[in-house]
């Protein structure tokens, strides 16, 4: 009996205890769940806050397209701050408390996306920081840096960054909440933009490392006081020796003294057909009759130099007075024969002042030519002996590159890719358009010529009709130095200060029709018309206008309606040509994209 009663008593206790246990279990479980969810929410909100703060800092990465303007110390500090916040956000997302969320279909996808985005961003910062640190070290103490090794290291770091971007896993791309979907889209977009920039910088660094290590380049000194097609005439020539990041110029001399060069043959069939009547391959001064430096001028110059000297060079570099003036802004003033030249004054002296200082006698002409060589050599020596920032140099040369004042060519594909990415290859595309006046009077009168161009586009069903009106006004006068005026009597010009030249244009290769007229009878007679590489070129026969006079040319062309834009080819003139296209006015001193409007 006692045993049965005991069992009944225990059963009664269980019956009474079970409701009490469950009454406590449910609230406890709910409290635990709420507390866990609260902790998860706090962790996720904290991670989101850290990630948002990191995003603000890491937007610095988008500024990599203009490193010359960066304050690398600030950028490095900002990246460090962003990396710290990213790491903290990523650590929060990896917290064990969140593990149960990973198995939930919807929530787990969002968590996986956030973790992937955070990890990809942190990996990028890990690779970018050494690049910024290296650039900061160069800017802080340029003389302590081996420039060749710096470029080689930069190329390796950029290659690593390129690989990191390509291999980044951004996690799920679909069924994300709007905030994560937007963040993923923005990061993916920024990474693609960064990938393109990084690829360009890697090619530049590879090419520059090879160039700075040991190269001999043919140096062409162009003079914008006597213009050709999209550059000045090549009046000085010599060799630029580069070794271990140092520059020196050997035997820069007037190109006139090398005439005639042993016939080397014209290396480009289009140029030979268009301009063959000028016997182009025996005179370095005739190299400028095509704007295609990469396809014609560079290869032709190498061929002619070898024919003249028997020496092979590794490439060709064109510089004009704009570049020498800009370089003085990097290395500081130089003294040349008691004259101090600095940024600003050098340009005026090289294009105008020198002709007033020296006469036209043989000895004075030789002395003036020696001054030009001496100035170029002095600038090269300043680069060898003074402290200069390579990033500041790139910043100073950027507008020079856009205006075709510095152009480079190398038959080595690695170096040529670097020149292309730097925008100094002097290439001409099939949709380029530009106006030029080529000086045929052996004068230095181009700085006294004002060129104004008005262009209008009317779009029709099958073509765009582009009408270009170009006016040249001669501001020269008889009081200018005789050397600037040139041999006007020998050329049988009407009076001193008369400007003799050819008008021409580079036009899109796809043009369907062409017409040319002038306000001066006989001035629109063509001497050149036809393909010039991917583009089309034309030029008139030589004309001459007196001081104070003007001449106007009107060109009408049709191009396919499928063309959406044109690229303005800078003339490299001083002063620059003034354009007005469909009411918008600008100078042709840099590359510019022209959107074709519908009418």
Kindly give, in sequence order, each residue whose CB lies less than 8 Å from that of residue 505, ignoring residues fewer than 6 positions away. Answer: 433, 434, 435, 436, 468, 470, 537, 538, 555
Question: Among 220-234, 315-329, 383-397, where is mean pLDDT lowest?
Answer: 383-397
- Give the tens place of pLDDT for each residue, 266-282: 999 999 999 999 989 99
- In this model, does residue 135 exceed pLDDT 70? yes
Residues 340, 334: Cα–Cα separation, whole Å: 6
Give the residue range(s) of CATH 2.60.40 domains in the chain.
Answer: 432-595
Q: Are 249 and 302 in contact (CB under 8 A)?
A: no
Q: Is 66 exposed, middle or buried (0-12, 13-18, 19+ CB in 10 A)?
A: exposed
Strands 214-227 and 315-319: parallel
Q: What burial class does residue 504 get, using C-beta atoms within 10 Å of its C-beta: 0-12 exposed, 13-18 middle, 19+ buried?
A: buried
Summarised one tens digit per residue, pLDDT across range 80-126 is 766 676 677 667 667 676 667 666 777 777 777 777 777 877 788 88
DSSP assignment of 310-338 equals: S---SEEEEE-HHHHHHHHHHH--EEETT
pLDDT in the model for residue 51: 58
Q: Which residues make up the CATH 3.40.630 domain(s) of the chain?
A: 213-422
Question: According to the model, what pLDDT value does residue 222 have?
Answer: 93
Per-residue pLDDT tens digits for 493-513: 999 999 999 999 999 999 999
Closest CA to 551 of 580, 519, 516: 519
Mean of the pLDDT values across residues 225-252? 90
CB atoms inside a 10 Å sphere around CB 569: 24
The answer to whether 552 touches 474, Cβ cutoff 8 Å, is: no
Question: Considering only CA atoms, which of 534, 533, 528, 488 is closest in space to residue 505?
Answer: 528
- pLDDT reported for residue 589: 94
Q: Work out the pLDDT band at 428, boundaries 50, 70, 90.
A: very high
pLDDT given for residue 228 in this prediction? 96
Architecture of domain 213-422: 3-Layer(aba) Sandwich (3.40)
Provide the whole-model pTM. Answer: 0.84
- The CATH architecture annotation of domain 432-595 reads Sandwich (2.60)
Residue 296's pLDDT is 98
DSSP class of residue 496?
Answer: T
Do 345 and 400 touch, CB atoms closer than 8 A? no
pLDDT at 37 over 60: no
């Amino acid at each position: 009996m006692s045993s049965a009663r005991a069992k009944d008593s225990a059963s009664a206790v269980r019956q009474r205890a079970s409701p009490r246990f469950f009454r406590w279990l449910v609230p406890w479980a709910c409290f635990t769940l709420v507390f866990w969810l609260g902790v998860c929410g706090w962790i996720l909100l904290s991670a989101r806050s850290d990630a948002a703060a990191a995003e603000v800092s890491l937007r610095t990465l988008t500024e990599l397209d203009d490193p010359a303007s960066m304050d690398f110390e600030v950028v490095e500090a900002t990246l460090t701050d962003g990396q710290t916040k990213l790491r903290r956000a990523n650590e929060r997302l990896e917290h064990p408390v969140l593990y149960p969320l990973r198995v939930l279909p919807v929530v787990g996808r969002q968590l996986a996306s956030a973790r992937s985005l955070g990890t990809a961003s942190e990996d990028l910062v890990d690779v970018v920081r050494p690049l910024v640190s290296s650039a900061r070290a160069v800017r802080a103490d340029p003389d302590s840096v081996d420039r060749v090794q710096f470029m080689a290291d930069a190329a390796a770091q950029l290659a690593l960054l390129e690989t990191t971007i390509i291999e980044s896993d951004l996690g799920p791309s679909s069924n994300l909440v709007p905030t994560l979907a937007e963040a993923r889209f923005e990061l993916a977009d920024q990474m693609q933009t960064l990938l393109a920039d990084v690829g360009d910088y890697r090619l530049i660094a590879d090419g520059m490392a090879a160039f700075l290590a040991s190269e001999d380049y043919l140096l062409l000194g162009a003079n914008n006081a006597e213009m050709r097609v999209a550059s000045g005439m090549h009046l000085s020539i010599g060799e630029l020796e580069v070794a271990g990041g140092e520059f020196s110029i050997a035997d820069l001399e007037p190109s006139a003294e090398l005439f005639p060069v042993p016939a080397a043959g014209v290396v480009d069939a289009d140029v030979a057909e268009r301009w063959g009547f000028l016997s182009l391959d025996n005179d370095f001064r005739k190299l400028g009759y095509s704007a295609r430096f990469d396809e014609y001028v560079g290869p032709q110059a190498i061929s002619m130099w070898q024919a003249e000297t028997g020496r092979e060079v590794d490439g060709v570099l064109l510089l004009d007075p704009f570049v020498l003036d800009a370089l003085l802004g990097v290395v500081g003033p130089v003294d040349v024969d008691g004259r101090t030249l600095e940024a600003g004054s050098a340009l005026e002296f090289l294009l105008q002042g020198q002709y007033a200082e020296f006469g036209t006698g043989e000895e004075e002409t030789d002395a003036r030519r020696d001054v030009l060589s001496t100035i170029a050599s002095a600038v090269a020596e300043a680069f060898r002996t003074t402290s200069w920032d390579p990033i500041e140099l790139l910043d100073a040369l950027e507008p020079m590159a856009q205006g075709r004042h510095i152009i480079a060519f190398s038959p080595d594909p690695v170096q040529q890719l670097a020149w292309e990415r730097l925008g100094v290859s002097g290439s001409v595309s099939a949709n380029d358009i530009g106006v030029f006046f080529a000086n045929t009077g052996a004068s230095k009168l181009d700085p006294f010529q004002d060129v104004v161009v008005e262009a209008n586009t009317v779009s029709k069903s099958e073509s765009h009709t582009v009408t270009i009106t170009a006016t040249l006004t001669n501001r020269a006068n008889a009081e200018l130095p005789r050397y600037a005026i040139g041999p006007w009597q020998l050329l049988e010009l009407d009076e001193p200060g008369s400007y003799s030249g050819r008008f021409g244009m580079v036009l899109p290769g796809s043009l369907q029709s062409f017409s040319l007229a002038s306000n001066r009878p006989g001035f629109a007679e063509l001497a050149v018309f036809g393909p010039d590489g991917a583009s089309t070129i034309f030029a008139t026969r030589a004309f001459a206008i007196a001081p104070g006079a003007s001449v106007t040319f009107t060109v009408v062309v049709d191009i396919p309606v499928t063309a959406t834009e044109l690229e303005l080819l800078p003339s490299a003139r001083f002063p620059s040509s003034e354009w007005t296209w469909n009411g918008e006015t600008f100078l042709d001193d840099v590359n510019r994209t022209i959107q074709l409007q519908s009418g």
